[in-house]
Chains A and B, each alone.
Chain A
Amino acid sequence: MTKHLISAGDLSRDDALLILDTATQLARLADRPIKKLPTLRGRTVVNLFYEDSTRTRTSFEAAAKRLSADVINFSAKGSSVSKGESLKDTALTLEAMGADGVVIRHQASGAPHRLANWIKGSVVNAGDGTHEHPTQALLDAFTMRRHLGNLESRRVAIVGDVLHSRVARSNVLLLNTLGAEVTLVAPPTLLPVGVEGWPCGHSFDLDSVLAKTDVVMMLRVQRERMNDSYFPNAREYSRRYGLDAARMAMLPEHAIVMHPGPMNRGMEIAAEVADSMRSVIVEQVANGVSVRMAVLYLLLGGNVSAIGAESSEPSTSSERELEPADTGQRRRRSDFAGEEA
């Protein structure tokens, strides 16, 4: 039984398809006059956000509210965290308030995993450092399925700052589970060490990849996580790895353009591409609510989680789990009260 959603790699193919199929049914709710279901009435979901976020936090909030859960929003700014409270003490406080589910975003890779050992409720990883962002991967897969159908042997290019991207890692794991072929495209400095061991290919040349790609996913260059220079300047990066109209024209007819947001228009993606017919970026946001509803429903809706129903133990096995990229930004141990595992 997988009570938590920490890594996209923990999901079996059946789990992933169950979440995506559930999301498909829940997406229809958006067309109804009353966009609400009574399913999680009386359950409490805490949004525990240590990092800034608009889209993910509001998306989780909307998802929980549409399922009639009570939502408590907690952001590190303006809370006891700024007075020096540790993650563990914050977690135990929330536990004492009766949180059935905790949605956590944290700047430290691994924080959701630690949290899961401290509290009784379900933990959903909403992005931890440069590690993972499983619900983003699920909503990306959901969006791809809507446009391309079955993802078996579909080719997906993930382009840009893979090194600092938790979205890329979660997508690689999930898309691999779903049978898609992923190619990471980035300058050598922005690919993580050990990428050869990931279940995907990689390339340094965007133009050679585009013609045989069904989905191109552009990643933002995460300057806030960079404490080194990874490329000479923004203009050069943009010229070699940015998606502009000329590059978009190289894509096959049916290919779609994705971006997890927030976008830097003119940097990794040209404005005309972001606003083109092929861009499904706005749709990704709408799908995020449906997918997060599905995750919350399956984790919290029954007496026990419906995810990982067959396997008795969540697969935290080392071969499935990729190590967080060594970005130079070290984990802040002070965030982890208690002993390190």
Chain B
Amino acid sequence: MNAALPSPQPGAATGGSANLSSGVRAVLEAADLSRAVTRIAHEILERTKGGSDVVLLGIPTRGVGLARRLAERMSEVEGRSFAAGSLDITMYRDDLRLRPARALAHTDVPGGDVDGKLVVLVDDVLFSGRTIRAALDALGELGRPRAVQLAVLVDRGHRELPIKADYVGKNLPTSRHEQVTVLIEEVDGRDAVLLSPAEGAAQ
């Protein structure tokens, strides 16, 4: 979902310390993020009555790491293993024609197919909803799930499409000009959610 913004450069994120003076603040620290993931894992299990037919699909890049963590927590709680996969949505984006073609990410569906399964899409930030729209298109070509649900770490509002998350780590009211950056250990070497004011003119 970050993609709705100028994509969250790892550089911009790691440059966080330098930006601190300019008003970057951590909305969630590592422990908060971990508690949010644990709560979502419980909610998924509760809502899906044990999650017997749940397939977790993360949206690259950071959604994949979050999906993997959810699968780990769910496995711990239920005592049986849940697998997490990834769903690349690049080819289905509605802003493809607005910039050079991007490198593709990996699509990997645990168990091979999604037919008749309950797919939980996992992403880091829910913003315009356009990423999820693309993800639904991508998913439709992989098979026909029984149902699709959406789990996000941060819902920052400003939806441009009629899309709503089923599981939310934190509702974060933001201005359009602000930037939300999710950092996760696997990618960024640190767990956090940062809120920074827009740099210069807003997009």
Bound form: Cα–Cα A32–B140 in Å: 12
A-B contact pairs, 26 of them (CB 8 A): A18-B103, A22-B104, A25-B88, A25-B104, A25-B106, A25-B107, A26-B104, A32-B141, A32-B142, A33-B143, A34-B141, A37-B91, A38-B137, A39-B91, A39-B96, A297-B91, A297-B101, A300-B101, A301-B91, A301-B96, A301-B101, A302-B98, A303-B99, A304-B99, A305-B101, A306-B100
Question: Would you call B47 an interface residue if the criterion is a C-beta within 8 Å of the partner chain's C-beta atoms?
Answer: no
A residues 292-311 near B (Cβ < 8 Å) are: 297-306, 309
Min C-beta distance of B138 to chain A, whole Å = 9
A34 to B144, CA, bound (A): 12
A28 part of interface (Cβ distance < 8 Å): yes
Q: CB within 8 Å of A: which of B94-151? A: 96-107, 137, 141-143
Which residues of chain A in 35-93 are interfacial with respect to chain B, using CB atoms and an 8 Å cutoff? 36-39
Known A-B contacts: A32-B141, A302-B98, A304-B99. Give 18 more (CB < 8 A). A25-B88, A25-B105, A25-B107, A28-B107, A32-B142, A33-B142, A36-B141, A37-B92, A38-B91, A39-B91, A298-B101, A301-B96, A302-B96, A302-B101, A303-B97, A303-B98, A303-B99, A306-B103
- Which residues of chain A come closer than 8 Å to B142, judged between CB atoms? 32-33
Are B92 and A38 touching (Cβ within 8 A)? yes
The docked-state distance in angstroms from the alpha carbon of A301 to that of B105 is 15
Q: Write the nearest CB–CB distance from B61 to chain A, whole angstroms.
A: 14
Q: Is A21 part of the contact surface with B, judged by Cβ < 8 Å?
A: yes
Specify which chain A residues have a CB less than 8 angstroms from the CB of B137 in the assembled complex: 38
Q: How many A-B Cβ pairs are below 8 Å? A: 55
Q: Give the chain A neighbours of B106 by CB distance below 8 A.
A: 25
Residues of A within 8 Å of B107, CB to CB, are: 25, 28
Q: B134-187: which residues lie under 8 A (CB-CB) from chain A? A: 137, 141-143
Q: Looking at chain B, what size class is its interface with the partner chain?
A: 10 to 19
Contact A309 B104 (CB under 8 A): no
Identify the 6 closest CB pairs spanning chains A and B, nearest first. A301-B101, A302-B101, A25-B104, A302-B100, A306-B101, A306-B100
CB-defined contacts of A32 to chain B, threshold 8 Å? 141-142
Q: List B59-107 residues whose CB lies under 8 Å from chain A.
A: 88, 91-92, 96-107
Smallest Cβ-Cβ distance to B142: which chain A residue: A32
Q: Is the CB of B143 within 8 A of A306?
A: no
Using Cβ atoms and an 8 Å threshold, which residues of chain B touch A309?
Answer: 100
Distance in angstroms between the alpha carbons of A25 and B88 in the assembled complex: 10
Q: Which residues of B contact A39 (CB under 8 A)?
A: 91-92, 96
CA distance A32 to B100 in the complex (A): 26
Query: What is the CB-to-nearest-CB distance from B48 to chain A, in angstroms, rounded to a whole number?
Result: 25
| Docked pose: A21 CA to B106 CA in angstroms | 10
CA distance in complex: A33, B115 (Å): 11
Among B88, B102, B104, B143, chain A packs the most CB atoms within 10 A around the CB of B104
Query: Chain B contacts of A38 at CB under 8 A?
Result: 91-92, 137
Bound CA–CA A309/B103 (angstroms): 12
A303→B98 CA distance, assembly (Å): 5
CA distance A218 to B103 in the complex (A): 32
Selected contact of A304 from candidates B92, B100, B102, B104, CB within 8 Å: B100
Residues of B contacting A299 with CB < 8 Å? 101
Task: List residues of chain B with CB within 8 A of the CB of A304.
Answer: 99-100
Bound state CA distance, A301 and B92, in angstroms?
A: 11
Which chain B residues lie closer than 8 Å to A302 at the CB level?
96-102
- Measured in the bound complex, the distance between the Cα atoms of B141 and A33 in whole Å is 8
Contact digits for A99-126, partner B, Cβ 8 Å, 1 yes 0 no: 0000000000000000000000000000
Q: How far is the CB of B11 from chain A (nearest CB, A)?
A: 16
> In the docked arrangement, what's the CA distance between A175 and B96, Å?
31
Chain A residue numbers with a CB within 8 Å of B96 are 39, 301-302
* Residues 265-283 of chain A, each 1 if its beta carbon lies under 8 Å from chain B, else 0: 0000000000000000000
**How far does the alpha carbon of A22 sit from the alpha carbon of B100 in the complex, in Å?**
14
